[in-house]
Amino acid sequence: MSSADVAVKVFRNLKNEDLRVLQVIETAMSQHEFVSKEQIARFSKLDLARDTHFRLSRLSKLGLIYRITGAYVGYTLNYSGYDCLAINALVKAGVLEAFGKSLGVGKEADVFDALNPKGERTAIKFHRLGRISFRQTRRKRDYTTQRSASWLYQSRLAAEKEFQALKLVYPHKVAVPEPISQNRHVIVMGMIDGAELAEYKEISKPEKVLKQILRNVKKAYLKAGVVHADLSEYNIILKPDMHILIIDWPQYVTREHPNAQELLTRDLKNITRFFERKHMLKVELKEALSYVTGEGRITTWSHPT
Ligand SMILES: Nc1ncnc2c1ncn2[C@@H]1O[C@H](COP(=O)(O)OP(=O)(O)OP(=O)(O)O)[C@@H](O)[C@H]1O
Ligand SMILES: [Mg+2]
């Protein structure tokens, strides 16, 4: 079960006091990696001996916090706890009503199908950065070598950045999921039906698909001033109607960034190479680059044998 699976499963059963304790730990974690029971009692205004103890052991059993024992006893949020705080905020903001199935669990994100209160489908992406999972690191020293709670910060930063990118390119009609909301390390966006381009063994009109990709990279660059910077066949969704959407934007840079040209070239190299290798369609990298930057056209679409 992924951390988001845990959060989705237990969220409905959480009481206000549970959420308050999670929030107190979250806040204190900006100062300390581990937060003591006394601190938690003080800031949550719960009775120390009874209520705080009860909440902490309950949250720990639910898998939302982690307790470290030794010379110092302290608590830290784990990803599921952080997920619950974000889910709670999104429910309160009226953008999230229910979770559906998991759309993808990876190293850096968990993505879920969800519904908003109007019954419309959305996709919810939980960013996971900067921390090896708890399952892999049961030993104490693995924690102490980590900078204080930086995973919280890095994951939130990734979500903020991705949401920002979507908001920059979406109004220019770049083919991306609609940005709906963001809280902490989570973004809510329009749901897309389809599969990663990499998963298609064959596509009937590769030229059409590549043209769409290049047109969208061009729009993002020229109109929104944005370079994706992690573009590949894994971050392009091909819908059943053969239209594409470009996803996964947390690494974006603006056109003014000192490495923008280099990153744009790399993006285009990934795509042109993929089409040459997998779909027997060759476009010169130089031509693709000059098309995308508005300096020229693509003159040859060849089919190497
Ligand atoms: N808006 C969306 N609608 C439907 N499915 C989506 C959406 N966004 C992402 N997905 C699914 O989730 C997968 C992972 O999303 P994304 O590429 O944004 O994250 P990632 O950081 O690459 O995660 P990972 O580390 O799992 O590869 C996608 O390949 C896709 O299958
Ligand atoms: Mg991806």
User: Could you tell me the residue ranges of all domains in the chain?
Assistant: 3-190, 195-292
Q: pLDDT tens across 128-153, in order?
A: 987 555 444 444 444 444 455 688 88
Angle subtended at Cα 184 by Cα 80 and Cα 148, rounded to the nearest 5 degrees: 70
pTM for this one? Answer: 0.93
CB 85 within 8 Å of CB 22: yes
CATH for 3-190 is: 3.30.200.20
Q: pLDDT tens across 205-240, in order?
A: 999 999 999 999 999 999 999 999 999 999 999 999
CB 23 within 8 Å of CB 78: no
Q: Is the CB of 235 under 6 A from ligand 1?
A: yes
DSSP state of 224: I
Contacts of 197 (CB under 8 A, 6+ apart): 209, 233, 234, 236, 237, 238, 244, 274
- The yes/no answer on whether domain 195-292 falls in CATH 1.10.510.10 is yes
Choosing from 246, 248, 249, 270 the residue with most ligand 1 atoms within 8 A of its CB, the one to mutate for a pocket test is: 248
Q: pLDDT tens across 55-66, in order?
A: 999 999 999 999
The torsion angles phi and psi of 75, rounded to 5 degrees, stand at -125, 150
CA distance 161 to 167: 10
CA distance 109 to 129: 8
Q: Where are the alpha helices (DSSP H) in the chain?
A: 3-10, 16-28, 37-44, 53-61, 79-92, 140-144, 150-169, 206-219, 260-279, 285-292
Residue with the smallest CA separation from ligand 1 atom 5 is: 192
Q: How many whole angstroms from its chain centre is CA 297? A: 34
User: Which tokens in the block code for residue 133?
Assistant: 């999972």
Q: pLDDT tens across 82-107, in order?
A: 999 999 999 999 999 999 999 988 77
Length of the chain: 305
Indicate if 110 belongs to the active site.
Answer: no
Q: pLDDT tens across 230-269, in order?
A: 999 999 999 999 999 999 999 999 999 999 999 999 999 9
Q: Is the CB of 189 under 6 A from ligand 1?
A: yes
Ligand 1 atom index nearest CA of 127: 21
